[in-house]
Amino acid sequence: MSKWILRAAALSVFLCIASVATADEPQPPKQEPESLPPPKMLVPEPLYVFPPRVQSRWVWSLYAPNSAGRMRPRVVLSPYGSYYLRDGEPFPWTTTQQGLLLPRTGD
């Protein structure tokens, strides 16, 4: 029986030494990952919309010279009735005063 106890003691010493030899080094304590700052709210840049540039002499396209050479509002001759180009009001004198209109095909 003493051989048996001697073998058991030798085996237990061997296992203790083997377990210590194969053990990993102690791990450092786990660090929590750095927390990121909260996301910043992005303010969109204001969108500047500029109106289209109007030519300074555009208003003169609404006028044309009459028979005397004076600038008068242009009249559009249409089959549904003549009207002023500047505001669309009807032109009432196409049938009674033909001399007010100059025959033109286009400007």
pLDDT in tens, 40-95: 888 888 888 888 888 888 888 899 888 788 998 988 888 888 899 889 999 888 77
pLDDT at 89: 93
Q: What global pTM score does this model have?
A: 0.44
Average pLDDT over residues 32-47: 86
Three-state secondary structure along 35-84? CCCCCCCCCCCCCCCCCCCCCCCHHHHHEEECCCCCEEECEECCCCCCEE
Amino acid at 22: T
